[in-house]
A = this chain, B = another copy of it.
Amino acid sequence: TSSLRYWNHRQRPAAASLAAVCSRSMASKTPVGFIGLGNMGNPMFQEAGEQVVSSPADVAEKAHRIITMLPTSINAVEAYSGTNGILKKVKKGSLLIDSSTIDPSVSKELAKEVEKMGAVFMDAPVSGGVGAAWSGNLMFMVGGVEEEFAAAQELLGCMGSNVLFCGAVGTGQAAKICDNMQLAISMIGTAEAMNLGIRLGLDPKLLAKILNMSSGRCWSSDTYNPVPAVMDGVPSANNYQGGFGTTLMAKDLGLAQDSATSTKSPILLGSLAHQIYRMMCAKGYSKKDFSSVFQFLREEENF
């Protein structure tokens, strides 16, 4: 068939509905399987010639190379170890790449199980957001056995302009988690600084310019400014629609929190950023872009 089927975790029951896709179109003539295509997977894998199959196990039966991309740790475990999971029919020597953003300790567990079956597992979460997925500017951060990295790079290279080897299994996740935590902190910091400046009488565009010319500069101030009317083409210019949702940021910060707790690493601002995005989810911001934290900080009444 020629149309791409993807799995939308909001519309279907979690356990039984993993759509799965095989493709002969990428990187070499051997088929590549995709499992759990959602918001990110759709543009990444929009190719002709797909064949829709009924379960992850079926994908594993037909393809030696499989890419999984699921929204949560639980979904990933299910896709690999569930009743109709990949591990039921995975072939020896298969390369299984998980591009989900999940707990690094889950990645390590999955890697152990995959290894028992004689196959190879790598974690390869992706950075760059939905926009980058459409434009091909994704970055894959890959964790796994170094000898297998070349094969992963060949496969992922068609989709992302950058494929980086990070170290042992789980380090791809670690890089993604740290990157997103820093992003959340910088975004809230930019929102607080912009809001304070406006309250103190500064013009928002001027303040953004000053931040960007100085040591206050960051991606959230110069590329994705959270204040409406400062930049065009970003969610803040469109009522915070599109972009990277507050719920997803809260979820990723939960992963950072769990990793920090288990490694006993202090993350004072990271923890507070997590709590702020958690509060936002409870206050009506769950579907807005994460830059809507600026709006969250603004007063809603006179006092």
Contacts and interface: CB of A to CB of B under 8 A. Distances in A.
A263 B200 contact: yes
Interface string A192-222: 1111110111110011011101111111110
A27 B118 CA distance: 54
Question: Main secondary structure on chain A at its contact with chain B?
Answer: helix
Contacts of A278: 264-266
A106 interface: no
Contact of A196 (B127, B221, B270): B270
Contact of A286 (B181, B196, B223, B303): B303
Contacts of A213: 139, 162
Nearest to A167: B201
**What bracket does the count of chain A residues touching chain B fall in?**
35 or more
Contacts of A167: 201-203, 206
B269 A273 contact: yes
A261 interface: yes
A147 interface: no
Interface stretch (A39-47, A56-64, A85-93, A168-176): A168-176
13 contacts: A166-B210, A171-B201, A174-B196, A174-B202, A175-B202, A180-B215, A182-B189, A183-B215, A185-B188, A265-B297, A266-B282, A268-B276, A279-B297
